[in-house]
Amino acid sequence: MLMTARGEPDGWPVSHPKSELAEDIEAMVEAITTSLISNYGEAIAGLWLKGSAVKPWGSPIDYVPEISDVDIHYRPREEQGSELYDLHTAVRVHAEIARQFEKARPRALHTPRPQLVSLPHVEQLAGYIPSPPGTVRTLFGEAPSRVHIDPKAVIAADSRNLIEAGDPRVLEKEIVDLVERPGHYLFTGLRNLNWRLSPVASRALSVLGIDYDVAWSVNRTNAIELLRENGQDELATYYSSYYLAAWEFFLSKWKDGDAGRSAFSAAVRALRLGAELGRSRLGL
C-alpha cells in the first residue's frame, strides 16, 4: 500500500529503494552523455539534466519508475546541428547507450526513460520560462545563468499553460482511446497524460502567488503540501493519487488494471482542476 485515503504518500516501496533507483538513473545519464558527446562531438553545445531526477525525493510521488522522464535538454550548434538527424549515427548511439547502461547496472531495478529535448525548440514556445538554475545539472557545456523573471508574466503564462494542459478536446480523446488499451497497453494512455500533468503542481502554485523560485524548485512531495496550505486540497489529492497509483501499476509490471485505471482517472481529474484554476486566474 503506497497511499492513504487522502492520496498521500505512505512510505517508499521496500522492493525498490530510492538509492538503487537513483543509481539506475545516474548510469543512464552517464551512458547518454558519454555516447552523445563521443558520437556527435562539436554538433552539441551543451547538455543539461532537469526535472524530478535532479530534485530530492521525499516520497514515492517524486519519481515513478518508467513513468517519470529523465529530462535531458540539449543545445545543438547551429552550423552542425544537422548531424543529429543522421540515421546511422542515431542507431549506433542507441545501441551504445543500451550496452553502457547494462554494463554499469546489470541488476538494474528499472530502465530509466530518457527524454531528449531540444532547448532552442522549447525556448521558441509561447510562454516559455527557464527553470531555476538550482534545478538544473550541467552535464556538458556552460552552466545556465539566472535570468530576470517578471512575476506577472510568469503567472499569466502558467495560467495559460494550465488551461492548455487540461484542454477538454485532448482529455476527451484520451478518454475515448482508453477502451482500446486493455492490460499493459494502458501504459500508453498514462504516458500521453504524464507530460501534461507533471508541471501542474508547480504551475498551480505559481498561479496561487507562490514565488517562482519556490513553485518551480520544490519536489512534488512539498508541492502537494503547499497546494493544501493554499486551499487546493482536491487538486493535491488527485495529483498525488496519480503518481501513487502509477507506482502500483509499475510494481505489478503493468498488469494491475485497477491501478492503471485509478492513475488515469486521477490524472484527468487533476488536469481538469488545473485548467479551472488557470481560467479563474485569467477571469475566463
241-275 as b/e, with b when 16 or more CB fall inside 10 Å?
bbbbbbbbbbbeebebeebbebbbbbbbbbbbbbb
Q: Is the pLDDT of residue 80 over 80?
A: no
Among 16-25, 111-120, 147-156, the minimum mean pLDDT is found in 147-156
For residue 255, what is the DSSP state? -
Chain centre distance of CA 161: 15
193-235 tens-digit pLDDT:
999 999 999 999 999 999 999 999 999 999 999 999 999 999 9
Q: In the predicted model, what is the mean pLDDT of residues 38-61?
A: 92
Is this model's pTM higher than 0.85 or not? yes
Q: Which domains does the chain have, with CATH numbers?
A: 18-140 (3.30.460), 151-282 (1.20.120)
Q: Is the CB of residue 135 less than 8 Å from the CB of residue 54?
A: yes
Among candidates 191, 126, 194, 133, which has minimal Cα distance to 160? 126
Q: Is the CB of residue 65 less than 8 Å from the CB of residue 159?
A: no
| pLDDT band at residue 10 using 50, 70 and 90 as cut-offs | low
pLDDT for residue 230 = 97
Torsion angles phi and psi, residue 72, rounded to 5: -120, 115
> Rounded CA gap, 54 and 12, in Å?
18
Mean pLDDT of the chain: 91
Q: Is the pLDDT of residue 133 over 70?
A: yes
Helix axes 220-229, 200-207, angle to 10 degrees: 40
Among candidates 275, 262, 112, which has minimal Cα distance to 190? 262
Cβ-based burial of 140 (10 A; exposed 0-12, middle 13-18, buried ≥19) = middle
| Residue type present at position 161 | N
